[in-house]
Structure 1
């Protein structure tokens, strides 16, 4: 069994605890938290399970890493603390651990990552003989392996479009929804996530990754952003009220330009209520979905819906993204130490998990 740490217990960390507990090759050995109120609580409780797992949360990362853990699922956010997240991950790799994480956007396409991100990781791999695989929670598989797989079914391919379409009222991360994305803010507010070059910083690596796999040469990466106000005040279960006239929906694209045309596109359509921007793409169920569209011959469209934590589809997206990361751990343990991306890690069947009782 591969001793595995889950570092962070938010939206991603909860799903990671459940995924590690369910995986036949992994053993949950420690849970790291930042909130003092979570220290001493059982991992099963923190993950929303109906039973205790016998692993108590701690905030002592030095002690956990010094205990020789074989793998770390780094689930702490890197959105507003990228330098701290990189430092934590480098420490874990230097301690000899295989690390999987969604926190370092620049390493989605590790071969094209800036030296200030890549060099510390490579140095830690040399020193500690650990490994790193980074894949997104938007989810990564929806912006790399799935569209690439589907593209191979066509005769000709004109455009690859990857969509995330979600109602953010189900997303239990209020600071990100209100301040990073700008939901509920005045229309003259400038959301950090939508500032020029930021979408490319976050999703450009996945555009470059797909272009590399397709043998396509990118001219450039472009961005488009559209925002809509709420016509009426709405109330949400998780975050309270969002006032009429404030931002209620966002639609943006990160476009990989090939021979002057957008050919590889990652598009996000997010709302705080279904009534806002009803003319934009909507998910089949009204809550959320991920969609890949291959424009070409034939035209291929695949929509994926995932549900977790009751009927929560945003949690389902997190869970599938985490499944991709956690499912890579045993492969990484057997591989040579290194810095890996989605083109390196095979998407494998759920070996040993068919019919297993849910954690």
Structure 2
């Protein structure tokens, strides 16, 4: 057992965005000691890890780009997080008796192919070391879903769906193979998606191992959705009619029946056809006796956090399941191990006073009352809009002008002026659309009730959810 007096000696492999979150977690764990860091590029070699990981301070540990330096350290475990895996390097680490935990598209080796899987298993056995792979998905969610079936008499089908608008993270290099913006019907795109999502085949195998069954086969089905307009997606060129949604369904077949469904449903914008219902959550369905359904939210309640903080949370997701598994993997049997072989993988407690949430999000099905307002005699003028996020009001100014057909206007905030679209008045009820480009392109739909010089209601800010708002006339 590792303790603060006898910590597990860890090397972090690479210093990218996901790896930097791993470094921060390792440094904060009393049972882990960061003894080395491997840098992918020569330019990073010799630099202080505190600078490379954005810690805001030096930690007197310098990165190296020499493989032999890592072997010479004789660490207990390497946290392996390259963008693309190098099986030969992984094998050399394992043969040296170094345990490896990785986020490099690996869980069972299914996606690597039989030859590379055998090579890794043989190396691990030769070195008496363990190899474990995970991420938020594939990985963590498969473990959660499998455990949820513990109250069932029998299971007929387990379905895990990752349903997210990932436009916020679209520029990251790990999405290069997905083909955002490729033309509709582009030859071989479905095959490219199967290749890019091969680790979900690993996920299907892991679920099967947790149930103790041997699958007949694993297959993948792919569907696409397309942009209904030219999109402003960070780091990607997505034009009208090109691919802006991907649905890859990995199926495990047992005794002739699909019994495991690990699917990803990703979009980079709301403006797609067919219009998919994106949950911004993990959805788990266990069809059996009894039936179990879960929606697992992992995004923060406060989506008004600064963009930098939101991005960090996204990079934290794949890093933490790997870091948290280190003690269990070091203690595990030699060879390729999965969640089926480990004791429950948990985080660590850090007790602190929890802040009270001042303003809850408005639920999607919460109606706006259509009575009680005094009506909208004349809305022309200036209004201050306060969207009530959990951290406080987000302020914009709405300027309206009366026309023969209704109203036109501009909504301003954060240095942006955006024309108001589809402004509608029906008695005391009003609605309009405001399109913003910061922190990213979003369509914000406001619906409210006018009462004299005030408006109360809710706004839907794209995939970020629904928030209450108030408006006060200022002119």
Q: TM-score, normalised by structure 1?
A: 0.83
Cα distance in 2 between the residues matched to 1:29 and 1:187: 49
Unaligned runs of 5+ in 1: none
Q: What is the root-mean-square deviation of aligned Cα atoms in Å? A: 3.1
1:244 maps to 2:245:
no
Relative to structure 1, is the Cα distance of residues 342 and 260 closer, same or farther in structure 2, using a 3 angstrom cutoff? Answer: same
Query: Which residue is equivalent to 1:268?
Result: 264
- 8 A contact 2:110–2:199 mirrored in 1: no
1:303 maps to 2:299:
no
SS at match of 2:278: coil
Matches within 5 A, 1:51-62: 51-62=57-68
- 8 A contact 1:156–1:298 mirrored in 2: no
- Residue 164 of structure 2, aligned match among 163, 166, 180: 166
- Residue 31 of structure 1, aligned match among 26, 37, 51: 37
Matches within 5 A, 1:55-134: 55-78=61-84, 82=85, 85-105=86-106, 108-109=107-108, 114-134=113-133
Q: Which moved more, 1:12-21 or 1:265-274?
A: 12-21
- 8 A contact 2:224–2:246 mirrored in 1: yes
Matches within 5 A, 1:177-196: 177=175, 179-190=176-187, 194-195=191-192
SS at match of 1:138: helix
Query: Which residue is equivalent to 1:294?
Result: 286
Deviations 1:141-172 (A, max 9, x none): 112x1111111123443321111122232226
Cα distance in 2 between the residues matched to 1:126 and 1:348: 23
Query: Which residue is equivalent to 1:213?
Result: 210
Which protein is bigger by CA-based radius of gyration?
2
Greater relative CO, 1 or 2 (CA 8 Å, sep 6+): 1
User: Following TM superposition, by how much is the alpha carbon of 1:190 offset from its aligned partner in structure 2, in angstroms?
Assistant: 4.8
- 8 A contact 1:42–1:56 mirrored in 2: yes
Cα distance in 2 between the residues matched to 1:215 and 1:302: 25
SS at match of 2:23: helix
Q: Which moved more, 1:246-255 or 1:304-313?
A: 304-313
User: How many residues are matched?
Assistant: 342
Cα distance in 2 between the residues matched to 1:27 and 1:350: 16
Cα distance in 1 between the residues matched to 2:34 and 2:11: 6
Q: Which moved more, 1:179-188 or 1:332-341?
A: 332-341
